[in-house]
């Protein structure tokens, strides 16, 4: 009987030591400031519409499609790089998936289906050989509230101008977007 009690006590001490070790390991997995790390906020960056009202003779539509697609991709990369945001993809039947290529209800439903809490959308208008206008909107789907509606201008009709504009817009979005 005494041997059974001794064996049970040794077993319990082993269980207590194992539990203490597991607690210590769990405590080490939390951030040092004691807070829990918040999950990144899901954001969808829609494709952007493009309108060329410059009246230029040379057809640059292929170059403009590529630059506008690059603009949206640069925004996605910019937002994902920080780690506070997880970029999700809006799916649509016909591409590009812009806010004007589908009805408002379908657009919002597609963003929600993608798991987005926030959605960025807009368009770029070429006014002249050198001037582009960008309309940027940021919608909080959870609060059903427009957080940002901004017009930006940029000079140039080349890859560098679009990159510079995308970096600027990405910074503006991050200043406005809620943090996790």
The predicted-structure confidence for 26-37, as pLDDT tens digits, reads as follows: 444 444 444 556
Alpha carbons within 13 angstroms on the beta-carbon side of residue 93 total 4
Please tell me whether residue 73 adopts helix, strand or coil conformation.
Answer: helix
Instruction: Give the single-character DSSP code of 144.
Output: T
Q: How far apart are CA 84 and CA 39, in angstroms?
A: 8
Q: Which residues pair with 138 in a beta bridge?
A: 120, 148
Element holding 24 (H helix, E strand): helix 2-28
Dihedral sign for Cα atoms in the order 101, 103, 106, 108: positive
Query: Which residues does 5 contact at the CB level (< 8 Å), separation at least 6?
Result: none
- pLDDT tens string, the chain, 180 residues long: the values are 445 444 544 555 555 554 443 444 444 444 444 455 689 999 999 999 999 999 898 989 999 999 999 999 999 999 999 789 999 999 998 888 999 999 999 999 999 999 999 999 999 999 998 899 999 999 999 999 999 999 999 999 999 999 999 999 999 999 999 998
């Amino acid at each position: 009987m005494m041997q059974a009690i001794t064996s049970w006590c040794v077993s319990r001490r082993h269980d207590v030591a194992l539990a203490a070790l597991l607690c210590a390991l769990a405590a080490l997995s939390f951030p040092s400031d004691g807070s829990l790390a918040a999950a990144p906020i899901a954001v969808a960056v829609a494709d952007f519409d493009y309108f060329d009202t410059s009246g230029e003779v040379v057809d640059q539509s292929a170059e403009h499609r590529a630059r506008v697609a690059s603009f949206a991709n640069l925004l996605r990369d910019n937002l994902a790089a920080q780690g506070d945001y997880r970029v999700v993809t809006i799916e649509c039947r016909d591409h590009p998936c812009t806010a004007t290529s589908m009805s408002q209800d379908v657009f919002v439903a597609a963003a929600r289906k993608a798991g987005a809490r926030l959605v960025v959308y807009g368009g770029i208008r070429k006014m002249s050989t050198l001037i582009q206008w960008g309309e940027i909107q940021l919608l909080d789907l959870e609060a059903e509230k427009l957080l940002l509606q901004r017009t930006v201008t940029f000079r140039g009709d080349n890859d560098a101008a679009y990159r510079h504009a995308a970096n600027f817009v990405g910074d503006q979005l991050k200043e406005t977007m809620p943090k996790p």
